[in-house]
């Protein structure tokens, strides 16, 4: 998610979620910059080889680093204050190319050609980068998608905004259906949002849907919402005991375009979707899990025959990596896809208990491209970065890790996203900036020769 903290810290929100969590309890955390302790632990096969700390206007404790995307020799990192473009030609020495101040929660990011897309899940006075926070009950409040032209990496230009119902907590870039011998003419953004209320004029219940934005690549300024398909006409999973929040849309969607397949992590439900008609995806199967509090994200294996779903128990701000919580909650669930249905096989959770001061739960990760194996790198907030093998769906196991000590003073922190890109693991640390890791292991070494041109982790292709 995680729970969104407004820039003022008066309201705890991380996407509307805190208005839902724990009886709308307000979470107040310190906003002073926090420093990790010197206690850094890694497995023998994992090494921190480089990185760059938060700087300038993004250095404050409430300037949370968020998601990552990659393109050629560049990495793009979202932040609650905007986004940063890094030159990663030398991964051990990433360098800032440009930093754009455009505050909003969460500023999750994806890239396509010369376009960069940001998700805004915070009601603002306008779509301007100078807008202030607004209450969702105000009709004129804006939230949704911002589009930037990044053809000049040193001088990105804000070119378009699209308002979407209930904002955009996350979005998924989906290529159009290319005709034989033709280039893509458009991309779609599947916009996930949630948290409706009767008093929100643009986000009223029920909100059992997503918004789909079509972006013509030849004229991105004409981008617009083209459909708002209802995924849960029956309301979805709303009554299961222990849910962090009932289903009111999706939190995250991952697509496998070659198979016209999508996996949705939809709060109380995990789903598969047929996306052969890009503007009208259809849910084909649904599952629930008594141990899941919040279906947060999904990752396919390389052949599109498995899905790893994550449970963000506690919304990302709670210490759940401990003996009291146990190995089956706040964890990953591995499902095989059998005859179009999701078949549960096992849970995976990091095997190290964290301190009560460390927010820790399963979060964003990606595949490591190894032929014939299913290996994933994943962020666990202050639980660090875990590399684990789920080739045997019934017996997943960790093969490497990187774990810092708790932040002092206590604060929201740790790895938001950890992704493998062209031989290195990049971790977006909420408080510390960008970390670059390597893993040296016979199970993952073959991946080092694979070179990708672009990586938006919610848009998966077979390697």
Q: Is residue 462 part of a domain?
A: no
Q: Is residue 461 part of a domain?
A: no
**Mean pLDDT in residue range 405-419:** 95
**Confidence band for 22, pLDDT divided at 50, 70 and 90:** very low
Q: Which range of residues forms the domain containing residue 24?
A: 4-455
pLDDT digits (tens, 9 = 90+) for 329-387: 999 999 999 999 999 999 999 999 999 999 999 999 999 999 999 999 999 999 999 99
**Confidence band for 145, pLDDT divided at 50, 70 and 90:** very high
- Assess contact for 209 and 229: CB atoms under 8 A: yes
Q: Is residue 150 part of a domain?
A: yes
Least confident of 16-25, 178-187, 282-291, 295-304: 16-25
pLDDT over threshold 90, residue 239: yes
Percentage of the chain lying above the pLDDT 70 cut: 91
Which residue, 433, 413, 402, 431, is CA-closest to 46? 402
Residues 6+ apart with CB under 8 A from 416: 2, 64, 65, 66, 67, 363, 364, 379, 381, 428, 429, 430
**Domain count along the chain:** 1
Instruction: Count Cβ atoms below 10 Å from residue 357 Cβ, excluding itself.
Output: 15
d(CA 452, CA 279): 27
> Model pTM?
0.94
- Assess contact for 434 and 94: CB atoms under 8 A: yes
d(CA 56, CA 75): 18
Helix, strand, coil percent content, the chain, rounded in steps of 5: 5, 45, 50
Percentage of the chain lying above the pLDDT 90 cut: 89
d(CA 5, CA 29): 9
Instruction: Count Cβ atoms below 10 Å from residue 109 Cβ, excluding itself.
Output: 25
d(CA 62, CA 7): 7
pLDDT digits (tens, 9 = 90+) for 39-70: 899 999 999 999 999 999 999 999 999 999 99
pLDDT over threshold 90, residue 31: no
> What CATH number did the domain enclosing 163 receive?
2.130.10.10
Helix (H, G, I), strand (E, B) or coil at 193: coil
Mean pLDDT estimate for the chain = 92
Q: Is residue 130 part of a domain?
A: yes
């Amino acid at each position: 998610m995680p729970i969104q903290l407004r820039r003022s810290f008066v309201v705890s929100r991380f996407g509307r979620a805190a208005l839902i969590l724990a009886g709308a309890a307000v979470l107040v955390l310190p906003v002073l910059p926090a420093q990790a302790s010197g206690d850094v632990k890694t497995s023998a096969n994992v090494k921190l080889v480089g990185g760059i700390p938060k700087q300038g206007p993004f250095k404050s404790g409430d300037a949370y680093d968020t998601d990552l995307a990659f393109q050629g020799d560049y990495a793009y990192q979202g932040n609650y204050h905007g986004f940063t473009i890094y030159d990663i030609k030398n991964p051990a020495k990433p360098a800032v190319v440009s930093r754009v101040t455009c505050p909003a929660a969460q500023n999750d990011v994806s890239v396509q050609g010369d376009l960069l897309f940001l998700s805004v899940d915070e009601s603002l006075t306008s779509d301007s980068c100078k807008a202030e926070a607004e209450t969702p009950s105000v009709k004129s409040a804006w939230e949704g998608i911002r589009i930037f032209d990044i053809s000049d990496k040193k001088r990105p230009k804000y070119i378009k905004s699209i308002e979407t119902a209930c904002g955009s907590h996350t979005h998924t870039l989906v290529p159009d259906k290319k005709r034989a011998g033709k280039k893509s003419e458009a991309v779609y953004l599947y916009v996930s949002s949630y948290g409706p209320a009767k008093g929100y004029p643009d986000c009223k219940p029920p909100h059992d849907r997503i918004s789909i934005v079509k972006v013509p690549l030849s004229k991105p300024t004409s981008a617009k919402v083209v459909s708002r398909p209802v995924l849960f006409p029956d309301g979805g999973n709303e009554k299961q005991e222990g849910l962090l929040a009932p289903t009111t849309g999706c939190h995250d969607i991952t697509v496998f375009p070659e198979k016209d397949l999508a996996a949705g992590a939809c709060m109380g439900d995990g789903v598969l979707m047929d996306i052969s008609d890009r503007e009208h995806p259809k849910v084909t199967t649904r599952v629930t899990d008594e141990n899941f509090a919040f279906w947060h994200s999904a990752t396919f294996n390389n052949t599109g025959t498995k899905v790893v779903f994550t449970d963000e128990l506690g919304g990302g701000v709670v210490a759940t990596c401990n003996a009291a919580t146990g190995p089956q909650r706040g964890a990953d669930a591995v499902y095989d896809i059998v005859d179009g249905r999701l078949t549960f096989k096992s849970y995976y959770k990091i095997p190290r208990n964290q301190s009560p001061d460390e927010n820790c739960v399963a979060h964003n990760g990606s595949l490591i491209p190894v032929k014939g194996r299913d290996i994933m790198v994943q962020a666990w907030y202050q639980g660090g970065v875990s590399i684990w093998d789920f080739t045997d769906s019934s017996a997943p196991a960790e093969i490497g890790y990187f774990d810092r000590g708790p932040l002092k003073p206590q604060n929201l922190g740790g790895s938001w996203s950890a992704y493998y890109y062209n031989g290195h693991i990049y971790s977006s640390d909420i408080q510390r900036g960008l970390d670059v890791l390597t893993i040296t292991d016979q199970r993952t070494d073959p991946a080092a020769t694979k070179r990708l041109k672009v990586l938006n982790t919610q848009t998966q292709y077979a390697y």
